[in-house]
Amino acid sequence: MKTPALILFTLIALSSQAHASSSDAWATYDKKVLASCVKASGLKNAEPVGTAAQFDDRVGYTALLLQGQYPQKHMKGVTGTELCLYRKKTKTAFVTEWDSIRPAGTSQ
């Protein structure tokens, strides 16, 4: 009868360790996603808008909205928005322009 109690104690100990390290692991992951998305972005001074959307592992992506300035001279520093999809499996970021997410007439 001591074996089930030992197993339960071990599971509780492991779950508390996993919980303690999970916040650090998530923070590290979020930094990797942000760095990868900013690098893939064509925007100057790209920064996240809000927090990343964590999709289920079956989907395999994290989505992050970025905002910054278009670097092309003819754009004259207009603010742009890009959606970044970070593929967890390959640790690769893909970005696409998504200015339509902002209300019409907003150019900040």
Residue with the larger pLDDT of the pair 31 and 13: 31
Among 53, 57, 60, 61, residue whose Cα is nearest residue 86: 61
Give 27-83 as a DSSP string: HHHHHHHHHHHHHH---EEEEESS--EE--TTT-EEEEEEEEE--SGGGTT-EEEEE
* pLDDT for the residue 17: 44
Tens of pLDDT, residue by residue over 25-68, are 999 999 999 999 999 999 999 999 999 999 999 999 999 999 99
How far, in whole angstroms, is CA 100 from its chain's centroid?
A: 20
pTM: 0.73
